[in-house]
């Protein structure tokens, strides 16, 4: 067996662009009147999924700025007619904008939500039943002018509360005020129309606007022969940037989301950190998710998703999606159609592609809040995997290398040598009250290792700089949180992978199908035998990760894992020795993914000849 060895070009300095100045959050941030749409699919629990208890709700929510909300609206259950409902619930907002919200549709479920200036969005990812949902709420204005679109919009529909006629579409919605609308070109697909991508035109549509920002969108008589038809209750946000709506017809379970269209868009226009949430139904699974997206203007999006999927349960996903945009902000993200709008502050997407004809998915994203603080400030959204730089919400795991971002974190720069100390240049990092080993400190960044004893579901991190404590930041903890290092330290692209002779696998020296290679990563959890925090593995003892449920996939095909544990010489650095699958259908840069019992990481490539 190939002995583990260290990755000698390890560099841990990674950026966190997109987080700007502001204040941290509390329940007070979520206050006042919101319009909302909530669609929840109760399923049979088997695949292909059938909908046994679909529910949808549309209306207004009023948050009291403390911990409570009230709502009124129209609810549709199954194939029934809409009925008026009202109620109340509670919520909490943490300093970074993560929200726990009582579900107004399915008590005692809670929506795993995210708060941003443009919207509140999320999904009930932590329930253990077979329901999957998407919740979106937008701030309402006290009085509002007619929408100043046009909007790039997407729609996901389950007419009659069934998957038989489900449909998904993208369209330019020319709403610039009340009255008749110009012809609407719709691109989408429908299960009862064969599933292939079609383009249709909606003529004679109209829009009525009310002074409070609500309105009615009339798209003609409802017809299952059309991709988009019928009437929708529609709301425009206080900023005028977001359009949200749905139908209250009998058996109608749908959601429509639009973002105010842009012009002069390039790939570089998509450049911020966003919250994101979505709902998907396909031939093999149903899933809801809430997470975050890092867009850095370079044609790639990095997703962190907390997912709940039929047949898989709850797990953490990180992955890369390539995108392209036209001048109007519309384009593609992998196998979906997408639109960037709202002056770059929000985006929408929908699964419409002939290469994925059974997929019916909608997603929505809005920029994260701007956060800052005085003194020793740890950014609540600045706790990231040091290898993958996955955006906020990705959990930490025992033994993982983590990067912290903030201000006033240290008096100056300092780097430690193994074994890493619990104090460096007057700085300590406490994780649930336990001092963590520190590799690097600077005023804006710290790299440290999560203590192996961190075993709870959450961890509270506090930085102390020469006796002054930072604000506490609480993050999720998981058994594993894999992040593969990359050759350019970006978190995506060619992974930090060696041949058996320790030469680098890259485009000029690719690997072969069936070859054994060495993958370098962090976040693989506890090891056996145990060793002290901050110390490195050795070549004389194999420190194996105790999580043995691991799969390495290349272009979706599993390899054979020979070793999974610590690499010698570098604390917090893990190594996987894997024999690549053979044969592989393609060559070139192929996706390499790491799957564990609780996570799926798909951000890097491996060069294959």
pLDDT at 308: 98
Cβ neighbours of residue 201 under 8 Å, at least 6 residues apart?
183, 184, 185, 186
According to the model, what pLDDT value does residue 60 have?
Answer: 98
Mean pLDDT value of segment 285-296? 96
Give pLDDT, residue 16: 30
Q: How confident is the model at residue 435 (pLDDT cuts 50, 70, 90)?
A: very high
pLDDT tens track for 292-346: 999 999 999 999 999 999 999 999 999 999 999 999 999 999 999 999 999 999 9
Q: How confident is the model at residue 537 (pLDDT cuts 50, 70, 90)?
A: very high
In 450-587, the DSSP E strands lie at 458-465, 468-469, 473-476, 483-484, 493-494, 497-498, 516-522, 527-528, 544-545, 551-554, 557-558, 560-566, 574-579
pLDDT greater than 80 at residue 561: yes
pLDDT given for residue 46 in this prediction: 86
Where residue 492 falls among pLDDT bands split at 50, 70, 90?
A: very high
Q: Give the residue from 260, 48, 45, 56 showing the smallest Cα distance to 138.
A: 260
- Asked if pLDDT for residue 15 goes beyond 70, the answer is no
Cis check: omega of the bond before 255, within 30 degrees of 0: no
Among 11-25, 76-90, 360-374, the minimum mean pLDDT is found in 11-25
Q: Over the chain, what is the mean pLDDT?
A: 94
In 3D, which of 480, 488, 415 has the Cα closest to residue 447?
415
Of the chain, the percentage scoring pLDDT greater than 90 comes to 91
SS3 313: strand
Q: Is 195 left (phi over 0), alpha (psi -120 to 50) or beta?
A: left
Task: Examine the pLDDT at 214 and tell me if it is beyond 70.
Answer: yes
Residues 125-165: pLDDT tens digits?
999 999 999 999 999 988 776 788 899 999 999 999 999 99
Tokens, residue 183: 């012809």
The percent of residues above 70 in pLDDT, for the chain, comes to: 96
**What's the pLDDT tens digit per position in 581-608?**
999 999 999 999 999 999 999 999 999 9
Maximum alpha-carbon separation in the chain = 77
pLDDT of residue 17: 30
Tell me the DSSP string of 396-460.
B-TT-EEEEEEESS-SS-EE--SSPPS-BTTEEEEETTEEPPEEEE-SSEEEEE--TT--SSEEE
Segment 36-65, tens digit of pLDDT: 999 999 999 988 889 999 999 999 999 999
- The mean pLDDT value for 403-427 works out to 98
Which tokens hold the place of 145?
């002018």
Which structural domains are found in the chain, ordered by start?
24-371 (no CATH), 377-476 (2.60.40.10), 483-608 (no CATH)
């Amino acid at each position: 067996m190939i002995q583990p060895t260290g990755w000698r070009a390890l560099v841990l300095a990674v950026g966190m662009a997109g987080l700007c100045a502001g204040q941290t959050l509390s329940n007070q941030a979520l206050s006042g009147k919101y319009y909302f749409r909530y669609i929840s699919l109760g399923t049979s629990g088997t695949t292909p999924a059938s909908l046994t208890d679909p529910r949808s709700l549309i209306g207004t929510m009023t948050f009291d700025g403390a911990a409570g909300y009230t709502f009124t609206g129209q609810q549709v259950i199954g194939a029934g007619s809409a009925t008026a409902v009202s109620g109340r619930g509670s919520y909490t907002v943490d300093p970074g904008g993560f929200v726990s919200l009582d579900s107004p549709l399915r008590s005692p479920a809670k929506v795993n939500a995210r708060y941003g200036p443009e919207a509140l969005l999320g999904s009930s990812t932590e329930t253990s039943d077979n329901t999957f949902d998407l919740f979106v709420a937008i701030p309402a204005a006290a009085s509002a002018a007619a929408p100043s679109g046009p909007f790039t919009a997407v729609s996901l529909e389950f007419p009659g509360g069934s998957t038989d006629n489900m449909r998904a579409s993208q369209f330019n919605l020319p709403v610039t005020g009340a009255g008749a609308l110009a012809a609407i070109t719709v691109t989408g697909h429908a299960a009862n129309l064969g599933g292939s991508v079609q383009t249709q035109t909606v003529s004679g549509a109209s829009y009525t606007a009310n002074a409070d920002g609500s309105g009615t969108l009339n798209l003609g008589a409802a017809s299952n022969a059309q991709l988009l038809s019928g009437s929708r209750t529609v709301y425009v946000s206080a900023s005028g940037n977001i359009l949200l709506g749905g139908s209250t017809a009998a058996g109608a379970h749908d959601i429509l989301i639009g973002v105010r269209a842009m012009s002069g868009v390039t790939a570089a226009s998509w450049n911020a950190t966003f919250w994101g949430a979505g709902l998907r139904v396909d031939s093999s699974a149903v899933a809801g998710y809430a997470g975050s997206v890092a867009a850095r203007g370079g044609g790639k999006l990095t997703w962190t998703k907390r997912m709940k999927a039929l047949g898989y349960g709850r797990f953490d996903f990180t992955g890369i999606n390539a995108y392209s945009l036209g001048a109007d902000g519309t384009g593609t993200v992998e196998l979906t159609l997408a639109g960037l709008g709202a002056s770059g502050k929000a985006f929408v997407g929908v699964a419409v592609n002939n290469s994925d004809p059974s997929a019916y998915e909608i997603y929505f994203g809005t920029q994260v809040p701007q956060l800052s603080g005085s003194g020793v400030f740890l950014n609540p959204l600045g706790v990231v995997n040091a290898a993958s730089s996955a955006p906020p919400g990705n959990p930490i795991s025992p033994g993982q290398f983590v990067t912290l971002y903030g201000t006033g974190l240290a008096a100056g720069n300092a780097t430690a040598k193994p074994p890493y100390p619990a104090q460096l240049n007057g700085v300590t990092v406490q994780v649930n009250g336990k001092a963590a080993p520190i590799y690097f400190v600077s005023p804006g960044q710290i790299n440290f290792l999560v203590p192996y004893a961190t075993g709870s579901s959450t961890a509270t991190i506090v930085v102390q700089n020469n006796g002054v404590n930072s604000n506490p930041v609480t993050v999720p903890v998981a058994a594993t949180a894999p992040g593969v290092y990359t050759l350019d330290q970006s978190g995506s692209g060619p992974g930090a992978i060696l041949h058996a002779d320790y030469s680098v696998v890259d485009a000029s020296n690719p690997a072969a199908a069936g070859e054994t290679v060495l993958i370098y990563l962090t976040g693989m959890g506890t090891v056996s035998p145990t060793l002290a925090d901050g110390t490195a593995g050795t070549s004389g003892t194999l420190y194996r990760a105790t999580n043995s449920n691991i799969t390495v996939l290349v272009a979706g095909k599993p390899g054979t894992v020979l070793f999974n544990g610590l690499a010698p010489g570098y604390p917090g650095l893990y190594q996987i020795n894997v024999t690549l699958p053979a044969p592989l259908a393609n060559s070139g840069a192929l996706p390499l993914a790491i799957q564990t019992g609780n996570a799926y990481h798909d951000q890097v490539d491996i060069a294959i000849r």
